[in-house]
Amino acid sequence: MQMQGKRKLKTRKLPVNETTNGINATTTAIASSSLRRTLLWVEWTLIVIHVLVMVINTAGDLNDITIRHNVIALCVLMGRAVLSFYFPLNRPLWQRRTYIFLEIFVLLPAQAFTFWGLSLFLYLALTKSCFLLDRRDIMITAIATGIAWLGCDAWRLPGMIIWARENMPEYWENPQRAIVASLINNTGVYIAACTFVLLLSLTVVSERRSRQKALNLAKEVETLATALERTRIAREIHDSLGHSLTTLDVQLELAQRLYERDPHRAADALNAAKTLASQSLADVRRSVSAMREEGFDLNGAMRMLIEQFPRDLALQIDLQTNFPQLPLQTSHQLYCIVREALTNVQKHSRATHITVRGSQTPNGVLLVISDNGIGFDLCATWEGFGLRGMQERVQILDGEIKVESMPGRGTRIEVKIPLKVVKGRTR
């Protein structure tokens, strides 16, 4: 049989389930809620601790200065308490920038006009910036915050010098040196603490994003696995039952029409329908057993398929297979490919002779199915002939399928399965 036209089947892309985006959004929302709740608890714990410290330290030493400082500090804490309930993690960038600016700006009065140190809230605001801003904005925020924070320290130094001269004169004998030492000390503390907080927070952010990405990928894999399973079930139904049930329907319809006019032909149609029903049930049982069996004999299953295959006397099938012991998945897919090919030949090709050859090669396994039928034009639409299901099965095995046909010259289907699949090293 001479073949001229050659064409590889096109790869069909599996559709991605649209629910993946919804799953990712749900996962992100849960992670955001957990982060917001954690930061809220941390901030309110700091607020309560600072209020208790203020009450304890000023209980027996109330004066105008202390009262003024306490009022300013309490107003600052109230501002932070209000802001703590709003965490714009999934808001536009301008809202996140504004939020971080307010978080830091509300602390500056306490730093400039009181003796209460609220630096822990400053570092908490920098921590929040790591979750809300990109790295460029984080660095700008850290530098600008440091300048403003140290500027507030410098603004407060003259009052501290006057107070220290009155209460610790021996320490403040040289005010210029004390000012420089204080600024250097505060700058070093801020740089060290800011570096530590930012590195730790960015590490947490990176780990959190990696974990969230892993969860999203796991959900996507689960969704795609479901889609693949649905495709597999649809393919099994089409390959094993589709043709038989179609013919069964035709036979039953024929029996209905001939029931009164020609009882003998009606009986023949019913007998054919009964045979098709039995064959369909056998196909189902064979598919289930093929998925459960451990020692599936592909060569024996091929012989049984040929013996039970319904055909007229003019159609001859020449089976020449010598497959080695293959993994169950590989054997089942090859069996289904041969069954689909035989069904297609019987329905469409008008062939009188079919040859099925299968053997092991140095590179894997080779399966060739050829017939002497009418063939078809490879450039025309041929997906309805069932070749798509065969191609999908070959894709599962990482193999290649080649179809050769032209009108009047028959058809030849060649399937190659690589050695790694033959030895059971499937992906």
**pLDDT tens per residue across span 197-208:** 999 988 988 888
pTM of the full structure:
0.49
Average pLDDT of the segment spanning 134-147: 92
Of 47 and 346, which is predicted with more confidence? 47
Average pLDDT of the segment spanning 282-295: 59
Average pLDDT of the segment spanning 124-151: 91
**pLDDT tens per residue across span 24-75:** 455 556 567 788 888 889 999 999 998 888 888 777 666 777 788 888 888 9
Number of Cβ within a 10 Å radius of residue 378:
16
Lowest mean pLDDT among 20-29, 75-84, 100-109: 20-29
pLDDT exceeds cutoff 60 at 353: yes
Average pLDDT of the segment spanning 234-245: 62
| pLDDT category of residue 396 using cuts at 50, 70 and 90 | confident
Q: What mean pLDDT, rounded, does the chain reach?
A: 77
* Edge-to-edge strands, sheet with 364-371: 6-8, 400-405, 411-418, 364-371, 353-361, 316-322
**pLDDT tens per residue across span 188-232:** 888 999 999 999 988 988 888 888 888 778 777 777 766 666 666
Length of the chain: 427
Q: How far is CA 199 from CA 43, 127, 191, 203, 331, in A?
A: 20, 10, 12, 6, 55
Angle between helices 64-84 and 19-58 (to 10 degrees): 170
Average pLDDT of the segment spanning 229-236: 64
Residue among 313, 278, 426 nearest 364 (CA): 426
pLDDT exceeds cutoff 80 at 139: yes
295-427 fold:
Heat Shock Protein 90 (3.30.565)
* Gap between the Cα atoms of 220 and 16, Å rounded: 9
**pLDDT tens per residue across span 157-175:** 776 666 666 666 665 566 6
Q: What is the pLDDT of residue 387?
A: 78
- In the beta sheet, which residues pair with residue 322? 359
Q: Where are the domains of the chain?
A: 19-223, 295-427
Q: What is the sign, positive or negative, of the torsion defined by CA atoms of 122, 125, 127, 130?
A: negative
* Gap between the Cα atoms of 66 and 350, Å rounded: 104
Q: How far is CA 217 from CA 31, 34, 209, 212, 407, in A?
A: 15, 20, 12, 9, 48
| pLDDT category of residue 13 using cuts at 50, 70 and 90 | very low
Q: Which residues contact 99 (CB under 8 A, 6 or more apart)?
A: 83, 86, 87, 88, 128, 132
